[in-house]
Structure 1
Amino acid sequence: MNRWGNMNTLRNQIFIGFMLIMVMVLTSVGLYAYDKVAAMLRNNAEKHIQQTAVQASGQLDVLLRGIDTLTAQIATSASVQTMLTRMLDGDEITFPERQLLQQDVRKQEAYGTGIRSLELYTTDYQRVLPLTNVSLINRVRPDWIFKADLARGDIVFLGMDPDFPDVVIAMRHVRLIDRSFAHAGYLMVQIDKSYFGLTDAAANASADINLRESLGLLDEQGRIIVSDFQDEQNIAARIGENSDETLTLNDDEYFVVERLSERTGWKIIILTPVASVMEGITVLRTAIIVSVMVGGVLFLILTFILSTMITRPILNLIKAMRGARFGTLKPIPIQTATMEINELGNTYNQMVISLNELIEVVYQKEIIQSRTELKALQAQINPHFLFNTLEAFYWALDEKGDEELAHIVVAMSGLFRYVISRPDEDEWVTVGDEMDHAERYLKIMEMRMLDRLSWRIDADEASRKVPIPKLLVQPLVENAILHGVEQRVGHGTVIVKVKPSEKPGYTRIEVSDDGPGMSDEKLKTLLEALERGQSESEKGKGVGLANVEKRLHLYYDSDTGLIIRSEAGKGTTMAFEIPDELERRT
């Protein structure tokens, strides 16, 4: 299971998935291309074979027309016509006349190719030429003579000469032109088999596609007239028995194409090795297999690189997140151009920055809380003793009739009770509580400063219920008295205002004085010090403006902070805005 879990990674999934898709695509394309191209090659081969048969048939027709023309010229020559006319009329032909006729025929025979001899016979089958006494009936089969009679003057190609196996016999009637084409005899021609050589036609037709074809010419009896077959007799017998498109000879398979000559009834047989036709298909199959293998290797390499590019940033992110368990939160460098991976890295870096800021906020809050608890511990000593003592002062002053001083003691007791909180008390109070505390503080300061201080608190009743951290307003009131009223000559005024902010859902708290104010340069220095978290106060040991600024950022969002307006000679106003409803930050 663990072994499978180690292999079931994103990288392996991408790698295997891409490879399966590649194999299916390349296999489908390869099979489709092989099927289409193989069919095309087979069709081209068949077309070329048929073209070879057409050319061979055409060449055979040309050769036959040459024999036809030559024999027609001889049959219609004046010497032959005159000689046969006299014989038909019963005249006796002398031997010298026959010699002269033979010489005339030989002259015309010289213009033909492939002619071995010409024989001339009378209607009663007696030989006129050559000068031997042989009857036509003894020379050829009666059915051949019958075919010549049926042709009525057209040449008839009869087949192999039974006496001379290398000779082909053709015959035609000799008709007398002056006697209304009356039958006067027979002209038989002996043609060398080599005259019908058709192998050049096969070679020319198959030269373009390198088909190793064999061509043969068979007469009506199935005997081979001419061919380039290796085993003529065996092939001739097998062709006569075979009716399929293919023929197997000596373990070799051949395509068989037959074409019948209408003029002679002979067959042109073309044998094409199946291996020769399929040779291009074999090359194609090899090329496709090699292409698939090369494509597979290249795709394998590219898939490996791609999967590495995708998973490496993710692995770096995993390592960085594992390091976070040990308290190490560091942004990771973005080294990829992939949008999704880049966005993932940026999101993680933003999360790290936010977590570090939150850790810093919690850390600062813990420090402030620890310091506050320490000061409270130092100030407490024995709070019950302090409160009881102040109560005793109050009753003593009240018995003496000094009500003003008694109220001051009560205010001081309330102030101490508000400042010195128990650990189980919530550090959040309402704005009304803060205003009451500021009022007690101002009463005490008014007694201390006699007629130099006057003050006023204007608080909207609805705003008094807004929650606020404890002791957030008193440092501003203390700062207004310390740096405002005490720094001017004569009477001074401090005004605390609480009202709804112009920003919906927020409450604005302002503390203003009519003291000497600050110059632009000093105001700028103060704001820079608050931004750094430092205090510019030179008097007192209160919480200070810097701590107020920090606490606002700790308890609220980073946009909440002190707003300070001051002008030399016209006093200073410090304010902040807090939300009416808030999910407290912890």
Structure 2
Amino acid sequence: MRKIKNKILGSVILIVTLSVTAISALAYEQFSSILEAQALREDTIHLEQTTNQMNHLIDDVQKYAANMVNDELLQQFAARLKYSSTYDELSAYRDVVTQLTKFNVLRDYLESSAIVRSDGKIFWSSLYIDPYFERLLREDWYQDALKNNAKSGFTAPHLIQDPESKKIVSFFIRFDPQYGGVLLLNIDYAAFESLFQYLGQSFDQVAWIGPGQSLLYQQGTATEMPAHTLSADSQDIQVVKHDKGYYLASAFEKSDWSVSTFTSNERFYEWVGYIVRYWAIFLALCLVLCFLLFLPIISNIIRPILQMTKAMKQVSMGNYNVQLSFRSNDELSVLKNGFETMLGDIEQQMSERVEQERWKRKMTAELLFAQINPHFIYNTLNTVVYLARKKNYTAIEEMVESFIGILHDAVNIGDTSLYITVEQEMNIINHFVTIQKYRYADRFEVVWSVEEEAKGDYIPKSLIQPLVENAIFHGFSEKETVGHIEIIIRKRSGRLLVSVRDDGCGMSQEKARSIMKGTLPPARLPSGAMKQIGLWNIRERIEYLYGQEGRLVIRSSEQGGTKVSVLLPVRQQPSE
């Protein structure tokens, strides 16, 4: 293999190394300026999106407040300063609270609202009058907002107890002069903060600036910003380049607020991923170029290897009828001859193994049948002896006829196959039940529930008989009442379900699981008869004949009866 390795590696290493080195140097020089421009453009887009969202929020608050001050009930309450009694005033206040609540629930960002009458009396949307609110409105955030006699505006962020401490931004709007008073809307500070937190994901520093260059919110590492970036008064985004990075500023419409951001040079360097992507593209182009250059050289080398690779894949999928057609004067010819010799040996061994396994399973199944027949014959002959002593010749005749029918089926095991149709198995079971009814007179009854379309399907011989025998012997031997056995055969989604259900004594769940797992082998009685041979035998036969496609399920509880189900693939033709 050294010749092939030297041919491929010598050519590839030389051309790929020269191509990648040259293209990478050119790519880095070309894209370094593009990187900075692209990063700045994306930062501008992020700032524009946040500015638009803030403008939308401001506009919505202003319009919603304007609708509220035009409400007739609120206007009348703000205008009326005197009432005939305190009760009348409280009653009117209650109606106002209801109206304010209706307005508040229509906006998620509204925490509460209040009406400040011209006489200075405050009516909160929480239906209580507390001196705390009168003291609250004496604070700077409210007094500074109203000192310029503006029609409406936002206050600085402040804390309020209603009932727990909350940080809010209030918006005030005056009623028309004929009514007097002020409507105050308390907006959750988080409604503004969330916008700047999202913006902070794209910048090293974000600052929300209020009137007089006051700092309302700041996120990120503290950096000294140029003064002119904090006084953005146009609707366009201002960009200022600095030695440490870029500053961007934008003003919000219909307010005296603005936002300033800072992106450091280090953050721009994080965008080196763009260069890596472009470099990957150049590398791919380089590899394509190398492939085109090397194709005439390496095609003769690769073709035999590809043939051997495909042949190995076919072998791994079970197809041993493959041939290699290439000719080579190097080490590949040795591999070809060895591979073909190996395929012949494997195919011969597989054929021998399949034949051995087929005979092993057939012989094992026949041996398992042999375990059933002596046990059944022993019980039947005992019953015949008993009937003979009673001189019940009619019963003896009927039993012997049924016994002959069963023996006729048993001797045919090796003639054709190990399978039988459901209908034939039903006839054998009827013979078996006839025999057992003489042995266990008036102790049980059997009911068939078989789908008509399932009668022609093939199942293993003597599959149901051990289940019925176990139900009779182990299920009803100690019961005083008449037992019931139901034999159910159904077809479900290409599979055949055979179930035998009884209402006998049952068994423990631990024993049932042991039988299904095969950890409970058949135990022998002192007399030599097999105990629990039926279920053990069936589990072994299903495993030999069907492998993973067959399944035995036992559902049983002590004194609760037993249901044994066998799930098999549907076969409409006998199998060897």
Shorter-chain TM range is: 0.3 to 0.5
Structure 2 length normalisation: TM-score?
0.36
Larger radius of gyration: 1
Scaled by the length of structure 1, the TM-score of the pair is: 0.36
